[in-house]
Structure 1
Amino acid sequence: GNKATGPISFSTYMQLCLSHPTHGYYMRNENAVFGARGDFITSPEISQVFGELTAIWLLERWMSDARAKEQNFRLVELGPGRGTLMDDILRVVSQFPNLRQKLKSVHLVETSQSMRTLQEQKLRRVCQSNGWEIFWHDSAVDIPQGTGEYTMLVAHEFFDALPVHVLEKTQQGWHEVLIDIAQSPVDRFSVKTNPSPLLINQPSMTSLSARWKRVLSPTPTAISTLLGFASPRFNALPIGARIEVSAVTMKTARQIGEMIQEGGSALIIDYGKDNVFGDSLRVSDIRVLLVCAFKNHKIVDIFHRPGECDITANVDFAFLKDTMSDIVTTHGPIPQSTFLARLGMQLRIDALVRAAKSPERRETIEQAAKRLIDPLGMGSQYQFLGITNKMEGEKSNEGVWPFIDVNEESQNNTTTTTT
């Protein structure tokens, strides 16, 4: 590498690892990104019921909004993967003639050309036969606004792949933690281990691979100042604390808020926590999140083999809510197990089991359901955040099902979660 370029931010490093035209993880054809050999088996890939219940929640919000019911609606998905989730949602819509004609367009936010091709193959048939048009966009900003349609939006494992900046609080304010090339062997081991109890000390935060080191920006940077003050929760953190914040997340969350504000509902489903329960804001509630990479389901150090690992960061749901709560109503987040169970997952699974043609198929369906709501796995690791436009939220003070009375329950759930 060329030393002249100097240190780079974590955000740039993540973008290079994921999206570099030749070396980037998502751009390399030999990375079977999804499926049995690939790195992720996502919830929609495990069971169709996941997408069906997601669809039912979105459609239910639209139908319970008297004004919206008169409007056409559109479906928006951020980071659609192989198109499985959208396919399941569209299948539900196509079962109801009155809904079928109200849906006009499907908008997918996807930067990778090879993923767009997979999505097109998956969704072409259902869209053509129902007269729905598919549009692809590079970012949420490009989705047309002010169209007078109701927007149903879903983002499943979208935010966890967005680049983050790592910030450290100093006497002088927030500085950015940068990545630089380690020149001498001594350098390699001089990485500051952080005494802050807030950090879950995974090895990746304290020992870099030999080629890289972390350095602190000599002064606050524009981005560290912007992001460090983005949430009032960050002000409460002690000197020396490190946080991960994403500028792209902030911008995208705002964009979602603006779309839903015009009339709509959204579900953000991701790997993360919302550790601010009720009004008791304790410093220990702000989970300082770490960047980690999943390589074929094993957690590895992100500097080990750039471009060969997918890099994800846990999603700070409280930050998402802070970014948009002035313009929309947010609900939750609640654990995946709570969301699916309360929306009647068991009834749907029972129906699929009854319709199954073989004992093996029945077994597969039941095992899949168990995986989705496993309290020690996906059931508690994944969280659902609901978003509705304010008009609807204000009419009913009792909240929106299933995001109701979950504080005690989700607190009990999270105590069993190991990081």
Structure 2
Amino acid sequence: MLFMTRSCRHLPFSFRAARNIVNTRHSQPSKLRLIHDAASNSTPVEKIIRDNIKVTGPLPFATYMQLCLSHPTHGYYMNTANEVFGSKGDFITSPEISQVFGELVGVWLLSQYASLGNEKIPFRLVELGPGRGTLMDDILRVIARLQHTKQEINVHLVETSPAMRALQDAKLTCDSRPNVLLHWHNSISEIPTTSEYTMLVAHEFFDALPIHVIQKMETGWHEVLISSDTQGPTQSIGVNDAPTSQPPSQSAQTAFSPLRRGLARQPSAASTLLGHSSPRFQNLPVGSTLEVSPTAFRIARKVGELLEAGRQLDGDKLSTGGCGLIIDYGGGHASSNSFRAFKDHKIVDAFHEPGNCDLTANVDFAYLTEAMNDLVATYGPITQGSFLERMGLQLRLQGLLKAAKTDDQRERIKEAATRLVDPSRMGKEYQVLGITNKPSQESIWPFVSDVKL
């Protein structure tokens, strides 16, 4: 199976010894120094990867990510020994920082449902990659306060990790929600198309999907692969050395890790297909590098199908459609060198302790839009800061500050809100894409331009 991400000019590879501490997962590798020495920390997943390379040859980045994150027993998200989220984990997400984030997401979803003008239409919720369930918990709280519905609410959670499912179940199951029915799925394709109005959210989901890295040469698009250097830094295993941003003698890639990047000598059918998978890639110059995720494209296509109105169901019924928000870091373009690893809230060597670190790459929102724009209407992306401010963050913040009982609580509430919207922190790096089941004659709030707050 193929997987993807984005675009750029070259694929530099330099790992510098680091001292800086990174607090959130959205930080760019070009702005940070990397920490940890990858060579001295072999893991079960690293052994699996190197054994695979011995048998089949160099691996695509997609396979590396899939093994590191989703190996059934040793993968990062599958291993119960890994504390993934929160202050004790490897990164912290917006819903974990402040309840306001999830509440405003819930308000937007409900506003789109209300625009139908018929509260008798049943609705359901879908979340891709629900984490610990914090975001869905906040959304359900907003629905309980604003919707006052007694109808059954089906909540569909796309989650492959048994450990994460247990956390979500504990978070979302409570006596005050007898009408909420939880359903877990291994993939979005398992979610049935129904007559219910679908409200979908994907927060920090697409960034963890496996990517392929390809580079344009005179002979076409070549794939950047991962090989195992077991006989010294000069060994080549069916690949050419990938371009680096510094002389090979200074590269921490060859100095510290048995895994290294290399450029395939010839284009493959897969790399050629990926290089032509978007009109935006057609006229890129030789030397351009792209991170591309066909898995992201496929899932975005399925999102469009779930939210499209008028799809034929059983009998004479038609689907009602729905709305959705995709929130992640990235932008409306492809990236070339955003692939990175996180451990203990710090950015680390991408080959450091495979299976024990989170792996991530920027999301190409334009690619997601291309996958679904014949099915649904898309808006944005806009920055997370703009989305939250326009949705009323300051008003909600004032309410929380009034309810706070101590100065310490008030300071923590203000700091959390600032962290979400500050352009130098999470406010600009994270982007929000809106989706509705049909084009609006007017712009959909808050996805409008030239707004003065």
Give the superposition deviation at 1:20.
1.5
Give the superposition deviation at 1:27.
2.0
The structure 2 residue matched to 1:400, chosen from 435, 444, 453, is 444
| 1:121 corresponds to 2:165 | no
Which secondary structure state, in structure 1, belongs to the residue aligned with residue 424 of structure 2? coil
Structure-2 change in CA distance of 1:208 and 1:119 (3 Å): farther
| 1:328 corresponds to 2:379 | no
| 1:84 corresponds to 2:134 | yes
Partner of 1:245: 292
Which secondary structure state, in structure 1, belongs to the residue aligned with residue 173 of structure 2? helix
The structure 2 residue matched to 1:376, chosen from 424, 433, 436, is 424
Give the superposition deviation at 1:209.
4.1
Structure-2 change in CA distance of 1:86 and 1:80 (3 Å): same
CA contact (8 A) 1:73 1:102 kept: no
| 1:93 corresponds to 2:143 | yes
CA contact (8 A) 1:273 1:316 kept: yes
Structure-2 change in CA distance of 1:354 and 1:21 (3 Å): same
Which secondary structure state, in structure 2, belongs to the residue aligned with residue 129 of structure 1? coil
Residues of 2 paired with 1:50 and 1:223: CA distance?
Answer: 39
CA contact (8 A) 2:335 2:362 kept: no
Residues of 2 paired with 1:97 and 1:341: CA distance?
Answer: 23
CA contact (8 A) 2:214 2:291 kept: yes
Residues of 2 paired with 1:235 and 1:45: CA distance?
Answer: 40
Higher RCO (C-alpha 8 Å, min separation 6): 2
Partner of 1:131: 179
| 1:8 corresponds to 2:59 | yes
Partner of 2:327: 269
Structure-2 change in CA distance of 1:310 and 1:208 (3 Å): farther
Partner of 1:412: none
Q: What count of residue pairs does the alignment treat as equivalent?
A: 382
The structure 2 residue matched to 1:175, chosen from 222, 226, 246, is 222
Partner of 2:79: 28
The structure 1 residue matched to 2:367, chosen from 314, 319, 329, is 319
The structure 1 residue matched to 2:352, chosen from 288, 297, 304, is 304
Give the superposition deviation at 1:186.
4.0
Which secondary structure state, in structure 1, belongs to the residue aligned with residue 241 of structure 2? coil
Give the superposition deviation at 1:61.
0.8
Flag structure 2 segments of 5+ consecutive residues without an equivalent: 1-49, 246-250, 310-320
Residues of 2 paired with 1:106 and 1:312: CA distance?
Answer: 26
Which secondary structure state, in structure 2, belongs to the residue aligned with residue 118 of structure 1? helix
Give the superposition deviation at 1:102.
4.7
My pick for the range that moved more, 37-46 or 19-28, is: 19-28
Structure-2 change in CA distance of 1:221 and 1:316 (3 Å): same
The structure 2 residue matched to 1:140, chosen from 173, 188, 197, is 188
Question: What is the identity percentage for the equivalent residue pairs of Structure 1 and Structure 2?
Answer: 53
Residues of 2 paired with 1:187 and 1:319: CA distance?
Answer: 37
* Residues 379-414 of structure 1 deviation map (CA, whole Å, 9 limit, x = unaligned): 011111001112xx24x2x210110015x99xxxxx
CA contact (8 A) 2:153 2:180 kept: yes
More helix by share: 1
Partner of 1:385: 433
Write the letter of the residue equivalent to 2:324.
A
Structure-2 change in CA distance of 1:233 and 1:207 (3 Å): farther
Residues of 2 paired with 1:51 and 1:319: CA distance?
Answer: 25
Residues of 2 paired with 1:239 and 1:29: CA distance?
Answer: 44
Partner of 1:49: 100
Give the superposition deviation at 1:301.
1.5
The structure 2 residue matched to 1:217, chosen from 248, 252, 264, is 264
Give the superposition deviation at 1:170.
2.2
Give the superposition deviation at 1:295.
1.4
